[in-house]
Structure 1
Amino acid sequence: MWEAAGRFFNDFPGDDASGRIIGISKIARDITDKKHEEQRKNDFIAIVSHELKTPLTSMRSYIQLALVKAIQRVDPFTEKVLVRAEIQTRKMTTLIQDFLNLSRLEEGKMSLNVSSFSLTDLMEETMSETLTLSSTHVIKYEACEEVTIAGDREKIGQVLTNLVGNAIKYSPEGTTVSLKCALNNGHVAFSVTDQGRGISKADQARLFERFYRVQDDRQGHVSGFGIGLYLVAELLKLHGGEIKVQSDLDAGSTFSFVLPVHAQISKS
């Protein structure tokens, strides 16, 4: 124990007999090594994600083509299998896109492709994809009136898809997932509510940290890397919004955010 304590104080900044500061170089070296390690990790994530994206896109195209042929031949078994395969490739595509976005965020290279788009159309697309990917939950959708907002359509779509996907993933089969939007004083409010097991206050405080995952034996079977909600929070920050969560154990969760209508958003 005393030996370890001695090493600690030897590395800690202090003065030697002649008054010179010692230990600084060791700390600076540790910080530099940590930064290099982070950069290598980010580079690896970016390279692997890019390498996976191209063959996966081709795979999805082949599956979709085979699915059309199976429907034309009236082959229910093959159609069912291909539908499931297509669903899994969609999930893989989303995961790869999350890793690419994570890499861009870490490098400060994330930018917004700002345009005006129909919020109603985007919500309906999200619901259509959700119903395709999940037949195990009751999905309710409460739409707001027709409105056009300014922002990155693709990234707002990723936020919605991620929140709805999480609600499904962390809720028991047969329960209800609700997606709502409402206009109020020049802003549009979104919320996604589930009937899952809820999130403790301690976990809520760290929920939007990179790579953080809730440690709960009741949902240990749920896979993930802890980047989805981190990306949601960061993408909303780029749009001038903020993600919030309201949850109690065994009482479900509601994730919500507000965006301004016709907001002026920076593209970088």
Structure 2
Amino acid sequence: MRGESATATAGLLLAVLFLCTLVACAWWAARTHQRAQEATRATEIESVGALLTAMSESLLATGETGTLRRLVADAALRHKFARCRLVLPDGSVAAAESASQITLASLPEQWSDMTGPLPPPVMPPDCTLHSFPVSVPGRGTARLDLIVPTRSLGWSSLDTLAGVGIIGAVALLALLLVYRYLRHRIRALTFIGEALLALDAGEKDVAALTVQEALGPEAAAWNELLAERAGFQQVLVTKRLLELPAARDERSRDLTSMCDAMPQGLVLVDGNLHITYANGAAALYLGSARDGILGGDIAACLKHAEVLDSVKSVASGTLRRSSSAEISQTQGDTTTVLRFTVRPVRHDDESAAMLVIEDVTQQRLADDSRNTFVAKVTHELRTPLTNILLYAETAMDDSAQAPTRTQALNVINQEAKRLDRIVNDMLSVSELEAGAHDLRLDDLSLATLFEELQLDYEAAAQEKNLKLSFDLPPKLPTITADRDKVTLAIHNLLGNALKYTPAGGTITVAVVADDRQLEVRVTDSGIGIAPNDAEKVFEKFYRAQDERLADITGSGLGLALAREVIRLHGGDIALESELDRGSTFTLTVPVMARARAA
């Protein structure tokens, strides 16, 4: 079997790996032991050489030659030196490991120092030379030569190798016994593993997945598990067959619930024009009770001939494409626009029609608002553009005089600024409505703000012969607000007051500030606003229906923008006006917690 073959191969590889590891360990142990011996021997040689050198210098100085020779012979015997000699500068041997090697019977009182290296002694094979200088004060210098045999792998290393080999053999035998035992134990698991691979490959036959129970308790447990699995699958199939109708009913209920939750009306009509299904929204759009229209004729509840003809064509199979129509319905003061879409449906080889009803009233209102916006923008931009083009031609005319050109350039400059204000106002209003305008809150000094306003508008008021007065308290606080937006709102209110107040009129700016809110009242004696226009003047592009406004330029965006920026601060702008008597715009802004006295 493939599993047993893999197990045998794994066991053989494990044995080879073990033997290789054992041989490597033995070699490393012997090598380490030999290096330790060599290091110990080197230390021993250095110590003996240093000791013999010191004693030789002392004995030579006192003339104890016999003691020196015995000391050298004893050191050579005890430390197993091949040669141990004391050599004078002339090459004579004063002391050696044996008396036969001594060439100098007695030492002279003095001898010359070594002026150069002596020729090396004759070296026995497999030996190393260690030389030590000897200096005898008053007599001369000499050299101590130690010739040491190189040690090969000693018996202690062989003992180490033999021990490692014995341990390895025992361990290999134990490994073999363990392998045979484990192979017997996992044999059943091997067959079970092959059965699992076959099961994963798609084998479903229980007989092909069964293993011999003689292999052990694992095999018996596996066979029992297969039998339980087969029984469980049979029970599961039976249960699914029994639950199939209930699941189909549940899915049908879920689909019905989802269709009922749709905001669009959904109606299914068969080939006989009978309503087979209608959700709640469809019953509401058709103005009938849901239970009352199910099973009935579609013509009884659908009163629009164009849509009814499309349903008949699609349900009969003569029309195989979708069609749609928008119908306006008016009930009292409310007009609703419904879009009817008819689509073909195939069911059991029979033609049917699906009618989808959508309320598109808000979409149409949005389209109308967009068209109105475009028309008003076009109208507002056309006047300054026309003036710019006209006066540009005048300025470029070669026959025009200098004053005429200067006047033309002034008009072009004024109209360009007017055009820039209109575009900026439109962008600001659009950003505010889209929520893209964020407040940049900071300390706003009201005293500085109204001082700048007074300087900005005094000249314009005097030019138009208007009396402009500011009613300010002795101290104005510093509030937390967006300086640019609050300034823009007050500028628009004050600018409108100057624009719509005839010559000789009055404009008053009254300010009241406490720890709760800031109130700015801009009162004028201008033309006033009719009651039916009082709230509409805050809409974009709206201008009051007053003939006197025909010659007064304006974009219709100033008040809309002013109210929006003040509402961003949590405040509002209110209007009190009487036609032909003037108007009062009241701006209120809550004072935030960071406000402090100026």
Under a length normalisation based on structure 1, what TM-score does the superposition of the two structures give?
0.69
Q: Pick closer, same or farther for the CA change 1:92–1:208 going to 2, 3 Å.
A: same
Matched-pair identity in %: 28
Q: 1:174 aligns with which of 504, 519, 544?
A: 504
Letter in 1 for 2:440: N
Q: 2:425 aligns with which of 95, 98, 106?
A: 98
Asked if 1:189 corresponds to 2:508, the answer is no
**Is the contact between residue 114 and residue 151 of structure 1 (CA under 8 Å) also seen in structure 2?**
yes
Whole-Å separation in 2 of the counterparts to 1:245 and 1:259 = 15
Match of 1:160, SS state, is: helix
Whole-Å separation in 2 of the counterparts to 1:170 and 1:28 = 38
* Corresponding residue of 1:208: 538
**Is the contact between residue 181 and residue 189 of structure 1 (CA under 8 Å) also seen in structure 2?**
yes
| Offset of residue 106 of structure 1 | 3.4
Letter in 1 for 2:541: F
Whole-Å separation in 2 of the counterparts to 1:257 and 1:231 = 13
Write out aligned runs for 1:139-178 (5 A).
139-144=468-473, 145-178=475-508
Whole-Å separation in 2 of the counterparts to 1:119 and 1:214 = 32
**Is the contact between residue 87 and residue 133 of structure 1 (CA under 8 Å) also seen in structure 2?**
no
Whole-Å separation in 2 of the counterparts to 1:214 and 1:35 = 21
Q: Pick closer, same or farther for the CA change 1:212–1:33 going to 2, 3 Å.
A: closer
Q: Pick closer, same or farther for the CA change 1:196–1:93 going to 2, 3 Å.
A: same
Deviations 1:14-34 (Å, cap 9, x if unpaired)?
698x78444428x38955983
Letter in 1 for 2:458: L
Q: Pick closer, same or farther for the CA change 1:178–1:94 going to 2, 3 Å.
A: farther
Write out aligned runs for 1:79-90 (5 A).
none
Letter in 2 for 1:149: I
Asked if 1:117 corresponds to 2:444, the answer is yes
Q: 1:8 aligns with which of 322, 327, 340?
A: 327
Asked if 1:24 corresponds to 2:353, the answer is no
Q: 2:571 aligns with which of 233, 237, 241?
A: 241
Q: Gaps (5+ residues) in structure 1?
A: 49-79
**Is the contact between residue 443 and residue 481 of structure 2 (CA under 8 Å) also seen in structure 1?**
yes
Whole-Å separation in 2 of the counterparts to 1:244 and 1:99 = 22
| Offset of residue 99 of structure 1 | 2.5
Whole-Å separation in 2 of the counterparts to 1:104 and 1:216 = 30
Letter in 2 for 1:116: D
Deviations 1:220-266 (Å, cap 9, x if unpaired)?
2112121110001100100110100001111100001212223579x
* Corresponding residue of 2:210: none
| Offset of residue 218 of structure 1 | 2.4
| Offset of residue 125 of structure 1 | 0.9
Deviations 1:128-156 (Å, cap 9, x if unpaired)?
11124442122111123221011110111
How big is the alpha-carbon RMSD for the aligned residues of Structure 1 and Structure 2? Answer: 4.1
**Is the contact between residue 513 and residue 519 of structure 2 (CA under 8 Å) also seen in structure 1?**
yes
Letter in 2 for 1:115: D
Q: Pick closer, same or farther for the CA change 1:82–1:32 going to 2, 3 Å.
A: closer
**Is the contact between residue 131 and residue 139 of structure 1 (CA under 8 Å) also seen in structure 2?**
yes
Match of 2:571, SS state, is: coil
Q: Gaps (5+ residues) in structure 2?
A: 1-303, 307-324, 330-336, 343-351, 382-406
Paired residues, what number? 227
**Is the contact between residue 326 and residue 340 of structure 2 (CA under 8 Å) also seen in structure 1?**
no
Q: 2:458 aligns with which of 91, 114, 131?
A: 131
Match of 1:207, SS state, is: helix
**Is the contact between residue 198 and residue 250 of structure 1 (CA under 8 Å) also seen in structure 2?**
yes
Higher-Rg structure is 2
Q: Pick closer, same or farther for the CA change 1:196–1:147 going to 2, 3 Å.
A: same
Letter in 2 for 1:8: I
Q: 1:222 aligns with which of 526, 538, 552?
A: 552
Higher relative contact order (CA 8 A, sep 6+): 1
Deviations 1:57-99 (Å, cap 9, x if unpaired)?
xxxxxxxxxxxxxxxxxxxxxxx99999987776555444322
Query: Could you tell which deviates more after superposition, 93-102 or 156-165?
Result: 93-102
Q: Pick closer, same or farther for the CA change 1:223–1:14 going to 2, 3 Å.
A: same
Deviations 1:156-186 (Å, cap 9, x if unpaired)?
1111110000001111012111111012453
**Is the contact between residue 241 and residue 258 of structure 1 (CA under 8 Å) also seen in structure 2?**
yes
